[in-house]
Structure 1
Amino acid sequence: MSSNKRKIAVLISGSGTNLQALIDALDTPALPDAEINLVLSNRKAAYGLTRAAQANPPIPTAYLALQPYLKQNPGKTREDYDAEVAKIVLRTKPDLVVLAGWMHILSERFLELLDGRKVVEGEEGISPSKPIPVINLHPALPGQFDGAGAIERAFEAFQKGEILRSGAMVHRVVKDVDRGEPLVVREVPFEQGESLEDYEKRLHGVEHDIIVEATKKVLDETKPL
C-alpha cells in the first residue's frame, strides 16, 4: 500500500458490485491517487470479501458480525459492536469510509469515534486527528424511501401510480438513517411494463457510477492544503 495515496475503507454485506466499481476506478481519472486499504463485512459469506482478495494487489479484509460478537461477549451491546467496527476501521487510518451495501445501521457510537468526538479507549494512536467522513449509498431519492427495502417499496409505489421515478444517492452518514447531506443524486424513471428485476438492474448501473463520483468528490474535499 502506497503512503501518498488517499486511503479508503469500504464496508459491505453482500456481493460487492459497488465495491467492484470502486476497485475498477482506482488509478483512473475517475478515482486517481486513491487506494482501498480495508474491506470489512458483517457477513462471512459476502462475495465482496472474495472480490477484495482477488484484486490486484489484494485488499486486506476483515469480518465482524453482530450476533456472533454479542454471543462471544456477554454483556456487550449493539453500540459496543459498532465501537469495535470503528476500531477495525480506524486501525487502517483511512481518509474516507464508504458504506457500499452495508446492511447494518451504525449508531452514534461509531460516528463519534470516526469524527473524533470520543477517543478510542485502550488503544493508543488510532483516534483520528481530524474527522473522517463517512458516506453511504442508498437506492432511493433524498427523503423518499429511507431505510431497508427501498427499491421494492419504490417499485410498489410506482405500481400504485404514486410515483413516476425513484433513483439513488450517496449521502453523508449522520445519526438519522439516510438523512445526511446528499452528495450525488440520480433520478431513474420507471418504465411501463418492466419487472422489478429490470428496474433494479438499471438502478444498479447508476449506483456504480455515483458511488465512484461521490468518493472522488469527498476525497477531493479532504485533500490536505
Structure 2
Amino acid sequence: MASRRIVVLISGSGSNLQALIDALNTPALPRAHIALVLSNRKAAYGLTRAQNARPPIETAVLALQPYLKTNPGKSRRDYDLQVAKLVAKHNPDVVVLAGWMHIMSEGFLDVLSGDAPYDGEHKVQKPIPVINLHPALPGAFDGAHAIERAYEAFQKGEIKHSGAMVHRVVREVDRGQPVIVQEVEINLGEPIEAYEERLHKTEWDIIVKATAKILDEVAPISS
C-alpha cells in the first residue's frame, strides 16, 4: 500500500507539526508522510521544522495580505480558494490545521468536499477530511484566545477544567464533530504559563491520535 498523505497548515512555531513529524512511520502514525506544509506566515518557524525533517518536507507560503496586494480585485474568498487549490493538488488523504490562524470560508470546504472544482473543471475524486486542533472543549471558548479565556473563567469559578480537542472542520467555527477530546485540569494558583505548557503536551498527543484515526477511516492499512 502507498504511504498515506497528509497536508498540514500552520501559522506559527509548528510544535504540533513537530509532533506529527516525530510520529510518522511509527506505531502511532504508520505508513504516512506529510506531502506539504503550508503556512500563511513566511516567518513561521514551522517551515524550518519541515525543511529540517528527514527527508525534508515540501513547504509553501501563501499569506493573505500579500496575495490581495499582488492580485487586485481578488477577495478573501479567492485567497481561500487558492489555498484549497494548493492543498488539492497534493492529493492528501487528510488535511490537518495545526495552529492555522485563519478562518476558512465555505469555498475552501466546497473544494475539498468535491462540490466545487479546484482548477478549471478538476474536482477532488473523493472528499478530503479536514481536521483542526483547538485548545478548548467542545462548545466552549470557540474562536481565538481560547486558552486565555478558559484560564480566566477558571479564576472566576465559572469552570473547573478545560482541555483540547481535534474536530472536523465545518462551516461553523470550532463546531465540527469532535474526533478526539481530552480534558486538562487547571490547578489552583498556577500561572497561565504552567497550564499552557501542560495543555500543549496534550495537544501534541491528540493531534497524532486524531490524524491516525482519520487516516484509518479513509485509507486503512490492509493486513
CA distance in 2, matches of 1:152, 1:48: 23
Superposed CA deviations along residues 58-104 of structure 1, whole A, max 9, x for unmatched, are 00000000011111111111000000000111111111000000000
SS at match of 2:164: strand
In the TM superposition, residue 223 of structure 1 has moved relative to its aligned partner by 1.8
Q: What is the TM-score normalised by the length of structure 2?
A: 0.97
In the TM superposition, residue 128 of structure 1 has moved relative to its aligned partner by 1.0
Structure 1: 5+ residue runs without aligned partners?
none
- Superposed structure 1 runs of 4+ greater than 3 Å apart: none
Q: What is the TM-score normalised by the length of structure 1?
A: 0.96
1:218 aligns with 2:214: yes
Write the letter of the residue equivalent to 2:16. N
Aligned partners of 2:88 and 2:118 also within 8 Å: no
Aligned to 1:63: 61
Q: Which residue, 122, 126, 132 being the options, matches 1:130?
A: 126
CA distance in 1, matches of 2:101, 2:143: 10
Write the letter of the residue equivalent to 1:192. L
Identity %: 69
Aligned partners of 2:11 and 2:40 also within 8 Å: yes
Superposed CA deviations along residues 88-122 of structure 1, whole A, max 9, x for unmatched, are 11111111000000000001000000010111243
Pairs aligned (count): 221
Aligned to 2:20: 22
In the TM superposition, residue 189 of structure 1 has moved relative to its aligned partner by 1.1
CA distance in 2, matches of 1:27, 1:93: 19
In the TM superposition, residue 183 of structure 1 has moved relative to its aligned partner by 0.5
CA RMSD of aligned residues (A): 1.1
Aligned to 2:5: 7
CA distance in 2, matches of 1:185, 1:43: 28
Aligned to 2:32: 34
Q: Which residue, 176, 180, 184 being the options, matches 2:180?
A: 184
CA distance in 2, matches of 1:31, 1:121: 31
Q: Which residue, 72, 75, 79 being the options, matches 2:73?
A: 75
Structure 2: 5+ residue runs without aligned partners?
none
Q: Which residue, 139, 142, 151 being the options, matches 1:143?
A: 139
